[in-house]
Structure 1
Amino acid sequence: MKKENHTLVNRFTFQGFSSFHEHQLTLFIMFFVLYMLTLAGNIIIMTIISLDRHLHTPMYFFLGMLSASETVYTLIIIPKMLCNLIDLSRPISLAGCATQMFLFITLAINNCFLLTAMGYDRYVAICNPLRYTVIMNKKVCVRLAWGACSIGLIVAMAQVTSVFRLPFCATKVAHFFCDIRPVMKLSCIDTTVNEILTLIISVLVILVPTGLVFISYILIISTILKIASAEGRKKAFATSASHLTVVIVHYGCASIAYLKPKSENTKDQDQLISVTYTIITPLLNPVVYTLRNKEVKDALLRAIGRKLS
């Protein structure tokens, strides 16, 4: 859309999935079902972890925090997206867009660093098991969780402030939520400085956690290979497999979305990538940790048994 100079706006509308207008109802049903599954899965994980004393360990503390973060993360994006699939003309105010972007960035970064904390937890559990309870005590876990949230809040404040100080002339956001690049494209002025800032932040909050997790797993794998018994190696690999699966998908999607050249993909390709990290990845968390994790499955069966009795 051509931008008109000197015509400032105070609200936006989302183009959403307008390219697939004839499939709006199908998309609505599909995304609604996935959203319900995501909510149900994460709520079940949080409930099981809080109620079952066998899961009151650092690993499941971080998993519960991740599930809570993913739940709020989807709440700020998907309901609005579903409404727009029904009514494409529904606007969002400038303040509403800034709030959505702020919460989205905060929780996305929080998730990245929570996964890093979970990687550190697995490293201590496997590489230093005798001192695990001393190193990963309650105070350390709370500090790591609070640190992940604090980094998200600080970075989100800087990013949102830089974006919404820009004057906007166009009103159509070529996306289904207030993501950084689609909103910046609506500015009347050159946004090169903002794009450089966004790239620097993306590199720091994606590559730094990825590097830390990568180092953790190099040390974990080298320790596992030294275990004498095959059963011991299998058990050690099993405790880390679920986390590693989520890490690969989460950081992989984030890297594709925010570290690729801005003109590399079309709008539809960008939206497909965004659907992956806003809908599929939050659903992956409960699926992986319930289907691949024996302790969570056992806790779920115990809870079902108590309910039936």
Structure 2
Amino acid sequence: MTQENSSTIIKFVLVGFSNHPQAEMPLFFLFSLIYLVNLFGNIVIIILVVIDSCLQTPMYFFLCHLAFLNVFYTTTVVPKMLCNLLAMKKVISYELCLAQTYISLLMGAAECTLLAIMALDRFVAICYPLRYLLIMNWSACVQLAVGAWTISFFASVVPLYFTIVPLCGPYIIDHIFCEVPVLLHMSCTDTSLQETLMVTGASGILLLPFLLITLSYLRILVAVIRMHSVEGRKKAFSTCSSHLTMVTIYYGTGMFMYMRPKSLYSAESDKLISLFYAVINPALNPLIYSLRNKEVKGAWKRVLERVVVSQRQRMLS
């Protein structure tokens, strides 16, 4: 999208679910509920990690980054989608559309990188338990987190800025929000170069972290097999199973969405895929990884006890 063209584009029509008008009101309430669950679950995780010293460990430090990512990403997408479900004119401004495109790509790249770092964290915790706190010290964790966001920015936002293509009217987006594959479908020029760059970039930002995750879990598997303690094996598998579930869900949808040619584009199926990784998956992450964890439940209980004690003291005073 060139600077000259961008000045003439004011709004896009965002089709969303307007092809199924009878479903728009039920979907509004459903997505509103999922969004509230997402906000509550992820914000609770951030608050608990900040105020409870028992959760101030490397694993929960990276979970805080993932929780922030989930909240920020869905807040960029869901409120506008909810408004359009109720609106007669389903439009999105050029500026917001472009913001959604950049943010969705950045958040997707950051989640890939953070999932890889979390796999590395589990690898160190299980394979080098006595040296875990020495290796994964706070300085290393901060550097890994800063590196994850920096690499994600330069691997996603910067290439997109230089390769985004001019769009042709009518400016109708048959999707639920703006993202790269959808905008490429609207291009009025040959996008073979952009598609190649998108697949190449996606291969790097998806496959390299995925390779690190795979190698980490292969080493973890070998270490777990060598364990003599059955309880130790159960604890290791319990810790890893949640992370593996997140990886499977995220990478399955992400690879299908970004690592394919435009000829395989299907509006209806892509809406469902985007719904899953942009709306549903962020709400599932805290449930899968944290809220069922005994440490998080214990922290939640301690915080509630503090609140009750504080209220009693106020009443007595």
TM-score by length of 2: 0.91
Measured against aligned partners, the alpha-carbon deviations of 1:134-174 in whole angstroms (never above 9, x if no partner) come to 11111111111111111221133234324544243330011
Aligned residues: percent identity?
38
Partner Cα distance (1:263, 1:167) in 2: 18
Deviation at 1:233, TM superposition (A): 1.1
* Contact 1:169 1:187 survives alignment (8 Å): no
Contiguous gaps of at least 5 residues in structure 1: 1-7
* Contact 1:242 1:292 survives alignment (8 Å): no
Match of 2:144 in 1: 144
Report the 3-state secondary structure (helix = DSSP H, G, I; strand = E; otherwise coil) of the residue aligned with 1:92: strand
Deviation at 1:210, TM superposition (A): 1.0
Partner Cα distance (1:82, 1:205) in 2: 30
Report the 3-state secondary structure (helix = DSSP H, G, I; strand = E; otherwise coil) of the residue aligned with 2:262: coil
Deviation at 1:129, TM superposition (A): 1.2
* Contact 2:165 2:189 survives alignment (8 Å): no
Taking structure 1 as reference, are residues 22 and 103 closer, same or farther at Cα in structure 2, changes over 3 Å only? same
Match of 2:5 in 1: none
Deviation at 1:238, TM superposition (A): 1.6
Match of 2:58 in 1: 58
Partner Cα distance (2:74, 2:15) in 1: 19
Counterparts of 1:12-161 in structure 2 under 5 Å?
A: 12-161=12-161
Deviation at 1:68, TM superposition (A): 0.7
Match of 1:235 in 2: 235
Deviation at 1:88, TM superposition (A): 5.0
Partner Cα distance (1:186, 1:228) in 2: 58
Deviation at 1:297, TM superposition (A): 1.4
Q: Which amino acid aligns with 1:120?
A: L
Task: Could you list the structure 1 runs, at least 4 aligned residues long, displaced by more than 6 angstroms after superposition.
Answer: none
Taking structure 1 as reference, are residues 250 and 167 closer, same or farther at Cα in structure 2, changes over 3 Å only? closer
Partner Cα distance (1:185, 1:221) in 2: 42
* Contact 1:242 1:293 survives alignment (8 Å): no
TM-score by length of 1: 0.93
Taking structure 1 as reference, are residues 261 and 164 closer, same or farther at Cα in structure 2, changes over 3 Å only? closer
Q: Which amino acid aligns with 2:13?
A: T
Match of 1:271 in 2: 271
Deviation at 1:60, TM superposition (A): 0.5
Q: Which amino acid aligns with 1:99?
A: A
Counterparts of 1:189-268 in structure 2 under 5 Å?
A: 189-264=189-264, 266-268=266-268
Deviation at 1:118, TM superposition (A): 0.5
* Contact 1:13 1:172 survives alignment (8 Å): yes
Partner Cα distance (2:299, 2:75) in 1: 27
Q: Output the aligned Cα RMSD.
A: 1.9
Match of 1:3 in 2: none
